[in-house]
Amino acid sequence: MSAIWGIISNNISENNLTLQIDAMSAIYENRCKLDKINHIKENDIAFCCGLQFITKESENETLPYYDKERDIFFTADCLLDNRTELIKKLSIKDTEICDGMIIYKAFLKYGIDCLKYLEGLFSIAIYDNKKKTFYLAADKLSQRSIYYYVNDGNIYFSTLIDPVLQANPNLKINENYLKDFLLAPGMMPNIVAGETPYDNIFQIIASSYIKIENEEVSKVKYFNILDNISISNIRNEKEVAKRFVKVYSDCVKSALRCQKEVAISLSSGLDSSSVAALSSLELSRKNKKLFSFTYVNYEKPPLNRKNYFINDETDLVKKLIELYPNIIPEFVNNEGKNSILEIPEILKIMEIPFKATVNLPNLYEIYKKAYEKNCRIVLTGQFGNSTVSYGDIQNVLYDLYTNKKYIKFLKCLNGYCTNVVPQSRKRALLDTIKHFTNIKRKSTIDIDTNNLTDNPLLAKDIHKNYSIIDRFGDTDFIQKLSGLPEDHISYQSNLTLPASYAYIGSYETKLGLACGIVVRDPTRDIRLQKFCLSLPFHFFAFNGNVRWLIRGAMHDFLPKEYVDVWPRYGLQNADWHIRIIRDWKKIREKYYDLFTNPKMDKYIDQASCNDLLEFLDNVSIKDLYEIDKFSAIDESKLQYLSFVIVLYEFLP
């Protein structure tokens, strides 16, 4: 893996080109843990690559590469999952060839159509100097961020945004992006794939590339995961389970390609624990360990408002480790730091406003600790809720009911009422049918699309000249975020959102570069997504068993406490708000001018902010343990305050 950056100059002087590329390179040298940085500069072209030696082949990477005979410049940030297949397909004799040169040989044979044949993580930059044609491409899931900026015929590209800004310091803020961040529900910072917080800096989205020729930029989508996806004719649950475990195991095996140690960010959730189980089995065959890192509370968390939430996952994680003794656990708590005071450091890495203010500091700690243990791959199960552990009972029942599959609908509902959440089947049937009958779908959607957030801190007129529907252009996504059921078609659409792919790939790329590791998520592997997209929808909650793919198909891989007890949700950050209130005086002092700073005027409502400050000034730690004094709504206000602070730190 690597980071890539460069400039193709149209009218930049040689001296300024050198200054600009050196300024871009300095950011990578100072901010990223890279094993080697290489540069090529020929006349008005500069290509650079900062390498991470993740695999044994990567130590021999010669990127960037200049093909003098063809006058082609090439560089790539890549980790291929199908290198063996490509070596055979391209008739390459050197089986130790590095991934970058495999891609270049594929380009020589197939042209830019080579992208269709590549599987894994990659971003690629190619400049054909004879044809004056530039290509910049992302992999099928945009698992590695890559940005570009074009001005007066000059082309800048970079894995990170800040190097482009360093070379072009006068770029303006994209106000629509900031409104997405503040107004759109969910945890994504924006909802328009390809946009960034800066005007005219764009990100290459999943399965796409740009072609720049004669100063014209063409955007091309070279692959669509939904093309040729048809519902499998598989009907037997045992066969589904067998195929699922095989596909999942293959995805995990690909993610383990690493010459050093492997780690995992582990909770007691079904996603990361299933990745850990399969990884442990594969690594044990090579007598290798799996280093796990689990977040635990630093402060005593309050009692849960719902009894199926678990504040401390330590004992459950230990249950998994009993089954897999080559897992070496470590329990971390970020040394008791509060998430708000961590925002500036994480924002410097992320480069864009972010909403995961509680989780990202903990991941950052885990990735740093993994690097210290000589790990270069860190596994996660981040995407698993959409694939391996997908299976909300309401969604499956809604799909069966609306498609008039009444026998399967009844069987699914009966199974749920009997085996999962015991209740009267007759009452559940009547309530479910009434609920589904009253739901308004698509053309009669009953949602105020200009006011989807309940953030009380925002300016009253912030919605002016902004429409989330116009920005996103799809009601399926809005319905999902608004709590309406998701049928099979909506599931397929929401699973493959380019903006979601781009955001996840961006933060994994940037945190990985900062810490010297590569983040791999087998639950997001394209093979697993294809399996889930083609699976008959009722198997996600087969016979009423929610999240059946893992709880049923992988029953023998996980502790019974994981698969037999439902509902059960682990809270990895149950003490986050306690840490904030504990340190409130420090936070108040650091951000004393936040709400009076003129740059925040058009974004926040002064009166509402003052009310929140007065409330927080008078909250005690003791109050957090009493539900009548500190409610879930108050927790939400703290989260919204975090978003406002992110914006404050981001704005110049």
Q: What share of the chain is helix, strand, coil (3-state, %, to 5)?
A: 45, 15, 35
Confirm if 312 and 302 have CB atoms less than 8 A apart.
no
CA dist 585 and 403 (Å) reads: 56
Name the strand (E) or helix (H) holding 435.
Answer: helix 425-438
In terms of Cα–Cα distance, which of 476, 474, 488 is closest to 441?
A: 476
Name the strand (E) or helix (H) holding 265.
Answer: strand 261-265
DSSP letter for 387, please. T
Residue 95 amino acid letter = T
Within a 10 A sphere around the Cβ of 607, how many other Cβ atoms?
9
CA dist 78 and 125 (Å) reads: 11
- Domains of the chain by range and CATH? 2-221 (3.60.20.10), 237-388+498-570 (3.40.50.620), 394-486 (no CATH), 576-650 (no CATH)
Q: Which residue has tokens 């044609």?
A: 133
CA dist 585 and 592 (Å) reads: 10
DSSP, collapsed to helix, strand or coil, labels residue 293 as strand
Angle ∠(239,241,245) on CA atoms, nearest 5 = 120
Name the strand (E) or helix (H) holding 582.
Answer: helix 576-582
Name the strand (E) or helix (H) holding 640.
Answer: helix 632-650
CA dist 558 and 438 (Å) reads: 39
CA dist 345 and 341 (Å) reads: 9
Residues 6+ apart with CB under 8 A from 274: 248, 381, 384, 388, 389, 550, 554, 557, 558
- CA dist list (Å): 399 to 395, 402, 478: 6, 5, 18
CA dist 375 and 100 (Å) reads: 22
Structure tokens, 28: 């990578």
In terms of Cα–Cα distance, which of 208, 173, 176, 207 is closest to 190?
A: 176
Answer whether the bond into residue 598 is a cis peptide, omega within 30°: no
Answer whether the bond into residue 64 is a cis peptide, omega within 30°: yes
Angle ∠(419,422,424) on CA atoms, nearest 5 = 120
Alpha-carbon radius of gyration of the chain? 25
Confirm if 566 and 550 have CB atoms less than 8 A apart.
no
CA dist 328 and 318 (Å) reads: 10
Write the pLDDT tens digit of every residue in 239-286.
Answer: 999 999 999 999 999 999 999 999 999 999 999 999 999 999 999 999
Within a 10 A sphere around the Cβ of 196, how many other Cβ atoms?
24
Buried b (16+ CB within 10 A) or exposed e, 52-65: bbbbebbeebebbb
Residue 539 amino acid letter = F
- CA dist list (Å): 398 to 56, 485, 534, 547: 49, 7, 18, 16
In terms of Cα–Cα distance, which of 80, 151, 90, 67 is closest to 118?
A: 80
10-residue block means of pLDDT along the chain (652 residues)? Answer: 95 95 98 97 96 95 96 98 97 96 98 98 98 98 98 97 96 95 85 93 98 96 91 90 97 97 96 98 97 94 74 94 98 95 97 96 97 98 96 94 94 91 88 82 49 80 82 61 79 91 96 98 97 96 94 94 84 89 94 90 92 90 78 84 96 94
In terms of Cα–Cα distance, which of 462, 466, 453, 468 is closest to 603?
A: 462
- CA dist list (Å): 495 to 83, 387, 528: 27, 8, 12
Confirm if 278 and 323 have CB atoms less than 8 A apart.
no
Write the pLDDT tens digit of every residue in 379-417.
Answer: 999 999 999 999 999 999 999 999 999 999 999 999 999
CA dist 237 and 260 (Å) reads: 38
CA dist 370 and 362 (Å) reads: 12
- CA dist list (Å): 96 to 15, 60, 115, 162: 39, 9, 21, 34
Residue 378 amino acid letter = V
Structure tokens, 285: 């065959």
Name the strand (E) or helix (H) holding 408.
Answer: helix 406-415
pLDDT of 186: 79
CA dist 460 and 374 (Å) reads: 51
Confirm if 338 and 621 have CB atoms less than 8 A apart.
no
* First-to-last C-alpha distance (Å) of the chain: 32
Confirm if 544 and 419 have CB atoms less than 8 A apart.
yes
DSSP, collapsed to helix, strand or coil, labels residue 218 as strand
Burial of 571 (0-12, 13-18, 19+ CB in 10 A): middle
